Amino acid sequence: MSAFLTLDELSAPLRSLRLLTVDFPDLPGPVVDVSTIYPDQLSLSWHDGQGGFTSFEAWRAALGIDPATVDFHVQCDGRTGVMQAQTVYGGAHIALTGYTKVPAGGAA
Q: Is residue 51 part of a domain?
A: yes
Rg, C-alpha atoms of the chain: 15
Render pLDDT for 44-59 as a digit per residue (tens, 0 to 9): 999 988 888 999 999 9
| Residue-wise pLDDT tens digits, 70-104 | 999 999 888 899 999 999 999 999 999 999 998 87
User: How many domains is the chain built from?
Assistant: 1
- What is the torsional sign of CA 79, 60, 19, 38? positive
Asked whether residue 106 is assigned to any structural domain, the reply reads no
Question: Where in the sequence is the domain holding 53, given as residue range(s)?
Answer: 7-101
